[in-house]
């Protein structure tokens, strides 16, 4: 989010300083592991579909400006056991917003993707224009473009504290203090370290993904990105790209992680591989081969899994972007544009009301029953 905002500010000619504890892209936050799904047919607030469509256009623009392939339109197949999840809401929203989607029954799914072994009670919503982004390349490209437009980057520099007074913001680091007319805070899993300047309802969790040896049925070019909702839980994944093996992760569950805690490597928990393999054996047996690689990453959940994109409640010149709850990457091109618009003009053309901090002032409604798959 930060690199995207930095690029958008620098290209507007704004003097921009980017500060990061590491050297992005890196493997400590939420963005590594090669790929992220980009889908457009969200349910819930229609703001998500609009944001996804704008983000898609901006990814294509970044590809043109950099000459680097960032987005692969592999299609995304959303699979679900109809006894735990229904696509009806998303299909209806997609139709309203002219997002192409195809409802499929089990026989059609098995016919089109012979590697899948799914029972008759499964159904799917296929999104032909969806696909995946090369996440580290996206950040690399925004970094290169931001610096080309004159932004400065301070890598390996942790922000220790932020203060704001009289229309100026000061960011304190062990290498010195930096003053600005405005600041954007997008601290991912580390927002807790910026308290008490800002305290957000964000809980970070450790997430794992694995790459499994798979048959050619699951190769990029013939197999799409996917999400899968079943009695076992909510999953998502990617075809085998360049022989790397089918990649799969679990969207629900995860051990809480707090800044300063060690991040246990893949395999520390028996369920790291077990949870993934169980689902592959059940529904994609040809992709349940040897574990080729595992990685550990972080989600930052808000209580309702909607994002936080807002101003600081006291300091209007400080913008906040966090709590992307495991589904933010696809939107980051558009989130950067929103943040830059807010920082420079005070306005944005996107509807960011669903992402306001004020929504946490009212008690949450009745928790939604069943499995939620919207947020992948
Ligand atoms: C396994 C996994 C799979 C995912 N799959 C998808 C998907 O398919 N599709 C999708 O859309 N999204 C997906 N996501 C979610 C998405 O990747 C995240 O929502 C997104 O990367 C969040 O971006 P961010 O900028 O908030 O966090 P990050 O990318 O973690 O960036 C935060 C940055 O802030 C820096 N920072 C933090 N604190 C400080 C400080 N005090 N001083 C200086 N720097 C600091 C960090 O070093 C870091 O570089 C997935 C996430 C994971 C973990």
How many residues in total does the chain contain? 376
Q: Which atom of ligand 1 is nearest to the CA of 159?
A: 42
The atom number, within ligand 1, closest to the CA of 29 reads: 30
CA of 188 to the centre of ligand 1 (A): 5
CA distance 327 to 40: 12
Ligand 1: centre distance to CA 108 (Å) = 36
Pocket of ligand 1 (CB under 6 A): 1-2, 19-22, 24, 29-31, 33, 36-37, 158-159, 186-190, 193, 207, 209, 236, 249, 297-299, 322, 324, 326-330, 376
CA of residue 133 to ligand 1 center, whole Å: 14
Nearest atom in ligand 1 to 132's CA: 8
Closest ligand 1 atom to the C-alpha of 326?
Answer: 15
185: tokens are 């805070």
Nearest residue (CA) to ligand 1, atom 41: 159
| 26 contacts: CB under 8 Å, gap ≥ 6 | 32
Instruction: Tell me the best of 131, 139, 326, 336 to mutate to test the pocket of ligand 1, counting ligand atoms within 8 Å of each CB and taking the most.
Output: 326
pLDDT in tens, the chain (376 residues): 999 999 999 999 999 999 999 999 999 999 999 999 999 999 778 999 999 999 999 999 999 999 999 999 999 999 999 999 999 999 999 999 999 999 999 999 999 999 999 999 999 999 999 999 999 999 999 999 999 999 999 999 999 999 999 899 999 999 999 999 999 999 999 999 999 999 999 999 999 999 999 999 999 999 999 999 999 999 999 999 999 999 999 999 999 999 999 999 999 999 999 999 999 999 999 999 999 999 999 999 999 999 999 999 999 999 999 999 999 999 999 999 999 999 999 999 999 999 999 999 976 554 343 445 556 6
Instruction: Note the pTM of the prediction, 2 decimals.
Output: 0.96
């Amino acid at each position: 989010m930060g690199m995207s905002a930095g690029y958008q500010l620098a290209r507007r000619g704004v003097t921009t300083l980017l500060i990061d504890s590491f050297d992005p892209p890196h493997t400590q936050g939420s963005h590594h592991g090669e790929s992220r799904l980009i889908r457009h047919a969200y349910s819930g607030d229609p703001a998500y579909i609009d944001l996804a469509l704008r983000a898609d256009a901006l990814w294509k623009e970044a590809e043109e400006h950099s000459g680097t392939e960032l987005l692969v339109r592999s299609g995304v197949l959303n699979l679900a056991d109809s006894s735990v999840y229904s696509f009806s809401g998303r299909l209806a929203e997609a139709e309203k917003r002219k997002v192409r989607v195809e409802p499929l029954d089990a026989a059609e799914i098995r016919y089109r993707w012979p590697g899948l072994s799914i029972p008759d009670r499964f159904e799917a919503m296929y999104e032909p224009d969806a696909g995946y982004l090369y996440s580290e390349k996206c950040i690399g490209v925004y970094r290169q473009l931001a610096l080309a437009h004159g932004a400065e980057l301070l890598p390996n520099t942790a922000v220790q504290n932020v203060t704001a007074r009289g229309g100026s913001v000061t960011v304190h680091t062990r290498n010195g203090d930096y003053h600005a007319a405005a600041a954007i805070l997008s601290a991912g899993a580390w927002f807790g370290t910026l308290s008490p300047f800002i305290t957000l309802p964000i809980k970070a969790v450790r997430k794992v993904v694995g790459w499994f040896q798979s048959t050619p049925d699951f190769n990029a070019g013939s197999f799409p990105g996917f999400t899968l909702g079943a009695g076992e839980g909510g999953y998502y994944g990617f075809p085998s790209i360049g022989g790397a093996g089918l990649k799969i992760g679990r969207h629900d569950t995860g051990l809480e992680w707090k800044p300063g805690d060690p991040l246990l490597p893949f395999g520390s928990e028996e369920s790291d591989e077990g949870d993934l393999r169980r689902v592959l054996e059940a529904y994609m047996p040809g992709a349940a081969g040897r574990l080729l690689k595992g990685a550990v990453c972080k989600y930052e959940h808000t209580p309702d899994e909607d994002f936080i994109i807002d101003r600081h409640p006291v300091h209007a010149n400080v913008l906040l972007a966090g709590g992307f709850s495991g589904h933010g990457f696809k939107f980051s091109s558009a989130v950067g544009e929103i943040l830059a618009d807010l920082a420079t003009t005070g306005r944005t053309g996107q509807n960011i009301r669903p992402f306001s901090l004020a929504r946490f002032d009212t008690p949450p409604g009745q928790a939604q029953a069943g499995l939620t798959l919207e947020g992948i």
